[in-house]
């Protein structure tokens, strides 16, 4: 969820801009396949690294 917050804010901002100015601006980045696969890979790597019980990866976990 934390990784998605900038994307959510950007998407909502684009929707508000379209609503206020009556435009049809689309965020082209969200429709590219490499973005979807890259974002999924980033989330998967983060999920895997935070579950490794070693010292540098312990800081990614929500517990100590």
Give the tens place of pLDDT for each residue, 8-26. Answer: 888 888 889 989 998 887 7
Stronger pLDDT, 27 or 6, i.e. the higher one: 6
Q: Which residue do the tokens 């999924």 mark?
A: 40
Spatial contact of 25 and 17, defined as CB atoms under 8 Å apart: yes
User: What one-character-per-residue DSSP string does 1-63 give?
Assistant: -GGGHHHHHHHHHHHHHHHHHT-----GGGG-HHHHHHHHHHHHHHHHHTT--SHHHHTTSS-
For residue 64, what pLDDT is reported?
Answer: 58
Q: What is the pLDDT of residue 55?
A: 84
pLDDT at 20: 93
pLDDT in tens, 25-43: 777 767 778 888 888 898 8
What does pTM read for this prediction?
A: 0.55
């Amino acid at each position: 969820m934390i990784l998605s917050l900038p994307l959510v804010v950007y998407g909502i901002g684009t929707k508000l801009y379209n609503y206020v100015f009556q435009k049809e601006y689309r965020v082209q980045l969200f429709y590219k396949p490499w973005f979807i696969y890259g974002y999924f890979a980033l989330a998967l790597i983060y999920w895997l690294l935070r579950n490794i019980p070693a010292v540098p990866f312990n800081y990614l976990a929500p517990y100590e």
